[in-house]
């Protein structure tokens, strides 16, 4: 689906600016790419989810003890949730814990 949206954005930029490359068109109009916007929105939502007063805070995995983090190879603030299925391993919370902590 995101490929369809990006294809539509490329076509619209071609209609507006003519035959220029996608990166040149984005930079001249001050647009970021679709993947950059998705990444930014994902990080923003994850930051809101981490707040203790969030209604979805119960979905977050346990926080690690900060004093132990210097002894760990993967010093993430949150434990990586154990996934029994590949579908859950690729879902929002495990993705964000891996990429944004």
Are 23 and 39 members of one domain? no
Are 38 and 84 members of one domain? yes
Q: Does the pLDDT value for residue 68 go beyond 90?
A: no
What confidence score (pLDDT) does residue 69 get?
A: 63
Max mean pLDDT range (42-46, 75-79, 89-93)? 42-46
Are 27 and 75 members of one domain? no
Q: What is the mean pLDDT of residues 33-54?
A: 88
Are 39 and 51 members of one domain? yes
Which of the four pLDDT bands, split at 50, 70 and 90, describes residue 91?
A: confident
What confidence score (pLDDT) does residue 43 get?
A: 92
Q: In a 3-state reduction of DSSP, which class is residue 63?
A: strand
pTM value is 0.65
Based on the structure, what is the number of domains in the chain?
Answer: 2
Q: Number of C-alpha atoms within 13 angstroms, CB side, residue 33?
A: 10
Range of the domain at 97: 34-101
Are 41 and 3 members of one domain? no
Are 87 and 101 members of one domain? yes
Which of the four pLDDT bands, split at 50, 70 and 90, describes residue 83?
A: confident
Q: Does the pLDDT value for residue 15 go beyond 80?
A: yes
């Amino acid at each position: 689906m995101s490929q369809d949206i990006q294809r539509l954005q490329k076509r619209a930029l071609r209609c507006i600016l003519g035959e220029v490359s996608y990166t040149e068109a984005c930079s001249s109009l001050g647009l970021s790419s679709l993947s950059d916007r998705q990444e930014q929105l994902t990080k923003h939502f994850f930051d809101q989810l981490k707040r203790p007063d969030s209604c979805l805070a119960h979905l977050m995995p346990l926080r690690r003890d900060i004093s132990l983090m210097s002894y760990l190879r993967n010093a993430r603030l949150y434990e990586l949730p154990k996934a029994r299925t590949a579908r859950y391993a690729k879902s929002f919370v495990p993705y964000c814990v891996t990429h944004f902590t």
